[in-house]
Amino acid sequence: MRFSIHAVVFTCLATHLVIAQASQTPATRDDILKLLSVMNTQEQVRQTMEQVMAQSQAMARRELKRRHPELTEEQLTNMDKESAEIARNYPVDQIIEDMIPVYQRHLTKTDVDAMIAFYSSPTGQKILKDMPSIMAEGMEAVYPRLQKNMDDILERMDEKASQQEKTQPKKN
């Protein structure tokens, strides 16, 4: 009886150690690439960039017109073209390569396998499909608050600069 209790305890401990060790196994480069593939990361980044750039472009255009009413439609169109060029030439492949070690530092093989299972599911695929729109709409929703905060910060900075100009001795 004593032997069987020790055997059960030993088996439980050994099993626990094997499971704990497996859950701490680092994710390999291939694991991360599989995850990024299941998440359709390249297309997600491209779609998000296009949507963000389009919304940013519209918001920047409005703000530029407000701050610089002298800008012509041609100048604004040229700025729009530059923004579109930035989005087109966004180095998605290079960015993904740069991110692989970051994912590996933070995610174990167990984490990645669980994420692959989730993102392979219908719910995971829905999240991936809707995420660019969610992000773009979210940016549009928070833009007025961000703009107000930025305006407040710029106003305070202008006031401080004016005060400093008044207190500094004038150079001849």
Residue 73 lies in a domain: yes
137: in domain: yes
Inside any domain, residue 113 = yes
pLDDT digit string (tens) for the chain, length 172 residues: 555 565 555 555 556 555 555 568 899 999 999 999 999 888 877 777 777 777 777 777 787 788 888 888 888 888 878 877 777 777 888 888 999 999 999 999 999 999 999 999 999 999 988 887 888 788 888 888 888 888 888 888 888 888 887 887 766 5
Q: Examine residue 126 and state whether it is found in any structural domain, yes or no.
A: yes
On the 0-12 / 13-18 / 19+ scale of CB atoms within 10 A, 31 is buried
In this structure, the dihedral spanned by the alpha carbons of residues 110, 98, 119 and 44, taken in order and rounded to 10 degrees, is 170
* Whole-angstrom distance, CA of residue 24 vs CA of residue 21: 5
Residues 6+ apart with CB under 8 A from 100: 29, 32, 33
- Is 21 contained in some domain? no
Bridge partners, residue 108, by sequence:
26
Domain count, the chain: 1
The pLDDT value recorded for residue 17 is 52
Residue 80 falls inside a structural domain: yes
**pLDDT reported for residue 117:** 97
Q: Which domain holds residue 43?
A: 28-149
Q: Is residue 170 part of a domain?
A: no
Q: Please tell me the predicted confidence (pLDDT) of residue 16.
A: 56
Is residue 7 situated within a structural domain? no
Contact predicate 126/40, CB 8 Å: no
Burial class (CB in 10 A: 0-12, 13-18, 19+), 61: middle
